[in-house]
Amino acid sequence: MPVDARILNEKTVAPLAAARSFVENLRKPTHILVAISGGSDSTGLLLALQEATAEAGRGRVQLSAVTVDHGLRVESADEARKVSLLCAELGIPHAVRRWDGVKPASGISEASRLARYRLIAEVARDIGADLVVTGHTLGDQRETVAMRAARSGGDDNLGLSGMADAVLYDGRHWIVRPFLSCERQAIRDFVLSRSRGWLDDPSNENARYERVRVRHSLSGSPVQLDVEAAAKRQALSEKTAVFLRQHVEVFHAALARLSGDELMPDLPEFRHGLAALIANLGGRAYFPAASSMERVLLFLKTGETGRMTVGRVLLDRRRDGLYLFREHRNLPELDLEDGAQGLWDDRFFVKNGTAFPVSIAAGMAGEASDAAAFFPSVPVGVAKQAMAILPQITAPAAGQASLEGAVTIGPRLAPFDLFLPRFDLELANAVAGLFGRGAYPQPPV
């Protein structure tokens, strides 16, 4: 069984101490779902949490476990069975979920990650778990930062903050990483000290994967983490949240406005807030690239009226301020059977509560009076364009029952609704308020 021989960093935390601290900081009696692959990190996490919860006393914490069999190797089913045996020995309820279906020919790492979290969340929902924990380590953090630094070395690269200690998945499941300050060697030593072993996944040594290549490159000289990066990112997100609440209006989750005296392109929170608006209005999961934001800021610094498009969003600079809304190109049509739900243009969730099929398509600009009534205090030209990028509900035939109240449409916040790092929770809640959404749930620890 190979062991990582890296010398422990004096700033790291011992695995059992990390588990104890995590359990002590839980805000209420909690049902924890441990994601365990059978590798050293997740096995160590399960063992450490079992000891820490036993010390905390019966009734304070309940443990369950889940293993995802990705079905990518012939050995994976047997490995999941061995994890089940371990959990049975420990008296911990355990579920196995398999990723079935055709696997993509490319992007397998990302597809596996998305499938894994989806299946884990299904188990968390089924058993009523309050949160999920994973065994990500300090080594994983170093690799993540190194990969993100290689993609963009600028000071404004928020990825240099690394993985958050907690991430909200699908708007409802908090995924927490108690071992993010623990070295892998210390975890393995802990597992061995409890007379346990672990399973080695050969894909962890497959140089096809970027993370494996980065891991090998760091083996002799680990990247030095900026311990302040996470705090800086959270501070920026909180300042940006204040800026958005004070200076931005959003109409019908489709049109944003900043008045002329609120355009402050030299402020970091203005830049970050504008990027957040563009991503949400455009239905994009990621904020615009740094190069795109540089173009936007140069455009705004001229003080001239005009237009430009970034990330499917049209920025219309007028004398009275800046207006942002989805550009008109490539607006889709969505067909929903009775009782079905779907996503329109990556910007709106739609649920068909009728007894017949409906179609969702882009609206029509309509009459100036209609646009002015729907978007009061907005220039008529802008209002008509905003009307044309709203979803419109149509029935398949005239004379059907009224659609009012039977088809529901609500805004999707694409950068936050699937994975929301704790760093950005306040920013996400500010955007949610502007778009007419409720706040995201607070983390339980």
Q: Residue 406 region, left (φ>0) first, then alpha (ψ -120 to 50), else beta?
A: alpha
Among 57-61, 141-145, 208-212, name the one with the lowest average pLDDT. Answer: 208-212
37 is in an annotated binding site: yes
4 is in an annotated binding site: no
- What's the mean per-residue pLDDT of the chain? 90
Structural element, H or E, at residue 384: helix 380-387
42 is in an annotated binding site: yes
Please report, for residues 49, 52, 185, 325, the alpha-carbon distance to residue 19 in angstroms, rounded to integers and kept in the order given: 5, 6, 16, 46
Please, what's the b/e burial string for 65-86 (b: 16 or more CB within 10 A of its CB; e: otherwise)? bbbbbbeeeeebeebbeebbeb
End-to-end CA distance of the chain: 34
41 is in an annotated binding site: yes
pTM: 0.91
- Does the CA dihedral 30-31-34-35 come out positive or negative? negative
* pLDDT of 7 over the 60 cut: no
For 379-434, the pLDDT digits (tens) are 999 999 999 999 998 766 544 555 556 899 999 999 999 999 999 999 999 999 99
321 is in an annotated binding site: no
User: Is 357 in contact with 350 (CB distance < 8 Å)?
Assistant: no
Among 41-45, 241-245, 261-265, name the one with the lowest average pLDDT. Answer: 261-265
- Does the CA dihedral 179-182-185-190 come out positive or negative? negative
106 is in an annotated binding site: no
| Phi, psi (rounded to 5 degrees) for 313 | -115, 130
For 91-123, the pLDDT digits (tens) are 999 999 999 988 998 889 899 999 999 999 999
437's CB contacts (< 8 A; 6+ apart) are 410, 411, 413
For 232-249, the pLDDT digits (tens) are 999 999 999 999 999 999
